[in-house]
Structure 1
């Protein structure tokens, strides 16, 4: 199985975010690692509001959140976000999240295709049917986010997710492996090529991704291209955009610029300049 990423891929202006919050990642319990890529924790105490922006991965996230000035802790299931994800941070708060491997969430809520959650954030009790969520969802959220020590939060998240007792699902494993192939193999640029490599028709591949990933294979190919461009724009001054466009499988530089601008909100050269001068 692929290792979870340890970079800031997908975060817009990561240096600005990381100077305002305390961000950590932790591995889940061994029994959860075929499903959950990583736990991620963010704590903040801000004198003024800050809006964080992320170009999301094709992953479902289960989060437990506490905005201390606004109310009690709560839990959400967030499907794949199709556009830029923005979260306004104010006062003091924290988020404890579980980022699932793309394709690996379905066994936790097998009654609906993962596309049901795409573009939506729902209370955990609306997705999971176990008594811990339906009877006392706030107690569950409080148990995860209130401990001061990360080790206690990890243990609480492990307990919550293990209590859902997902059944093995070979199709989830297939979907996870195929998304991993897109992520790691730059030559995998066409849906037809991915379908042939998996021994599936294009239509069967699309059905698999709708049921287990929540978005189409083409969407994921494009999203990982933007992640790559965003990472390079934020870390290098000498990006050859025409060469990068060709390397990522775009017809020309203009297509890369169009997709980047539509997703991030500014052209890649403008973003790169801002990152180098900040």
Structure 2
């Protein structure tokens, strides 16, 4: 695989929603492709809109990927680093959010600052993307772009919601791309694409991932620490939990022993420990929640919405 092809392969799955059947009620998600010249830095854009009855609320929980997001909402446009734990948001009334899922390592490139890989980083986009040097957009222009994105989404113009954000990202990328950073992101993308694309066996470890990426385990660990902010082991474990959660959402009655084998665990106990650490509940409790969501869903089938 050539490097320019590797960096455009998916590095994050569409798995991650907790209780997808319940998530199908009251809000919708649309995912959009980035501009071609930003595809090395942007995995995808996503727009969520919701309209809940008066007094109702919905708490959406997502299992994070190793990706940062730039999220425009009513309170402003902010950059969010890789969450240290579960990401949750409680929705009320009527609203919209416009997000940009950056490729792993892309935020480190765009900021040019080690702070980019700090767990749970939250930074106003006006600080992250504006006035760092001549040629950068002004802070007011960055903030205006975020407001315009949200207004477009609220009006129903989902495709138009990402248009104000693209010039800002393009201007910053033009200033920050270097041969060194591009090569580093290529190596990260190659490794992540192998995990998400199933090129490795379900029980593959860091050694196998490093060999696939053409490097040593130690070099791969340093690469991820510098550019992504999580370890290769974290990525492999989190991907298995994503797969396990998705399989349980489709079939809540599935045997946990069979599930453990399917996603690459040697035994059910290790799956249960990683699953509970990532989601806050063990697989059996998650399966019961999904079964309840299926019964509450109008179709009885989990709908894959809400997966940014």
Q: What TM-score do you get using the length of structure 1 for normalisation?
A: 0.88
Q: How many pairs does the alignment contain?
A: 270
Residues 1-278 of structure 1: pairs in structure 2 closer than 5 A: 1-3=8-10, 7=14, 9-46=15-52, 47=54, 48-66=56-74, 73-112=75-114, 114-116=116-118, 118-130=119-131, 132=137, 134-147=139-152, 148=155, 149-164=157-172, 165=174, 166-168=176-178, 169-185=182-198, 186-187=200-201, 189-278=204-293
- Runs of 4+ residues deviating >4 angstroms: 3-7
258-267 or 182-191, larger mean C-alpha shift = 182-191
RMSD between superposed Cα atoms in Å: 2.2
Query: Any conservation in 2 of the 1:25–1:41 contact (CA below 8 Å)?
Result: yes
Instruction: For residue 276 of structure 1, report the CA deviation from its aligned partner.
Output: 2.1
Query: Any conservation in 1 of the 2:27–2:49 contact (CA below 8 Å)?
Result: yes
Unaligned runs of 5+ in 2: 1-7, 294-308
| Equivalent position SS for 1:106 | helix
CA distance in structure 1 between the aligned counterparts of 2:146 and 2:262, rounded to whole angstroms: 44
Instruction: For residue 3 of structure 1, report the CA deviation from its aligned partner.
Output: 4.7
Residues 182 and 229 (structure 1), Cα distance of their counterparts in 2 relative to 1, 3 Å cut = same
Instruction: For residue 261 of structure 1, report the CA deviation from its aligned partner.
Output: 1.7
Q: Which residue of 1 aligns with 2:303?
A: none
Residues 6 and 189 (structure 1), Cα distance of their counterparts in 2 relative to 1, 3 Å cut = closer
CA distance in structure 2 between the aligned counterparts of 1:143 and 1:237, rounded to whole angstroms: 41
Instruction: For residue 4 of structure 1, report the CA deviation from its aligned partner.
Output: 7.7
CA distance in structure 2 between the aligned counterparts of 1:191 and 1:4, rounded to whole angstroms: 16
Residues 135 and 274 (structure 1), Cα distance of their counterparts in 2 relative to 1, 3 Å cut = closer
Unaligned runs of 5+ in 1: 67-72
Map Cα deviations across residues 60-99 of structure 1 (whole Å, 9 max, x no partner): 1011111xxxxxx411111111211111212222110011
